[in-house]
Amino acid sequence: MIRIRNVSHQIAGQTILQGVDLDIQQGGLTALVGPNGAGKSTLLSLVARLQTLQSGQIEINGQDLQQISHGDLAQMLAILPQVLTSTHRISVQDLVGFGRYPYSLGRLGPKDREIIAEVLQSFELQEIKHRFLDTLSGGQRQRAYTAMAWAQDTEYLLLDEPLNNLDIAASRSLMSRLKSLAAQQGRTIVIVLHDINYAAGYADHIVAMKAGCVVTAGPPQEVVSEAFLRSVFDTDARVIVANDRPLVIV
């Protein structure tokens, strides 16, 4: 479990997070939703220790995040941020191999190659594994980066808006694959999403944030309502039920 207690954060004097308390249970897919500037990405980066924790406490499986070594943390938690800086002149297979660095330190062994092959298959990348990233579509490239993070073989995977710039087909495919893999392998995925319908349709749990605070959290069926949309997103929309899941009609 990821346990967050009384976490606050400021950037250039502006309050981004205010006294956040949150428990992210192990297993399944948890979606962080909320308007722009709610603090979702900042919270994710603090959990991944990409930013320095200013106040409060974060624990992972009962261990204080600040006391976990870099090597141990890299084998517990992986993050795929919004801004990706890797060169595009690299093959899909080599990119996925980067996910094994916390174990191999750049010298891939038989176990690493076995995991890379399994991940390429799980993300349906075998046929393009030798292609360079700059020859891929946006959906293929995002799938390759996500596969790299998955190959890190961590209990927790944090994804910051992985559906950005993806069309409907690619978004649905990626969300369906992530939900299936999390269930099959017992891993925990925490994903920042802007589209409430993807969160409602695929997540096991939703955490809604606004103005640096957690507003509500729970299963989609209990969280997503017309009152919820007004209070969190300041918008009026209908909510219906389709396939036992809430669906927002705008």
CATH number at residue 215: 3.40.50.300
Per DSSP, the three-state class of 17 is: strand
236 in a structural domain: yes
Q: Are residues 96 and 209 in the same domain?
A: no
pLDDT of res. 87: 63
Residue 174 in domain: no
Identify whether 97 is part of a domain.
yes
66 with 159, same domain? Answer: yes
* Residue with the two structure tokens 């979702």: 40
Count structural domains, the chain: 2
Q: Which of 91, 95, 115, 94 is nearest to 103 (CA)?
A: 115
The pTM of the full predicted model, rounded to 2 decimals, is: 0.94
Neighbours of 85 (CB within 10 A): 5
Ranges of residues in the chain whose predicted pLDDT is under 50: none
Three-state SS at 191: strand
Residues 225 and 126 in one domain: no
pLDDT in the model for residue 138: 86
The pLDDT value recorded for residue 85 is: 62
> Cα(195)–Cα(192) distance, rounded to whole angstroms?
9
- The answer on 6 and 60 residing in a single domain is yes
Domain that holds residue 47: 1-76+154-169+183-250
pLDDT number for residue 236: 96
> 60 and 11, same structural domain?
yes
175, part of any domain: no
Residues 36 and 8 in one domain: yes
Question: Does 1 fall in a domain?
Answer: yes
Check if the beta carbon of residue 245 is closer than 8 Å to that of residue 201.
Answer: yes
Are 56 and 99 found together in one domain? no
Cα 146 to Cα 170: distance, rounded to the nearest angstrom = 13
CB within 8 Å of 147: residues ≥ 6 apart = 92, 95, 96, 99, 119, 120, 122, 123, 125
Residues paired with 80 in a beta bridge: 159
Residues 3, 18, single domain; the answer is yes
Query: Based on the domain organization, do 69 and 97 belong to the same domain?
Result: no
Is 49 within the bounds of a domain?
yes
**Do residues 5 and 72 both lie within one domain?**
yes
**Same domain flag for 160 and 59:** yes
Residue 246 lies in a domain: yes
Residue of 196, 156, 152 lying closest to 25 (CA atoms) = 156
Q: Which helix (H) or strand (E) holds 192?
A: strand 188-192
Q: Do residues 72 and 94 both lie within one domain? A: no
Structure tokens at 34: 């909320």
CB distance 99 to 92 below 8 Å: no
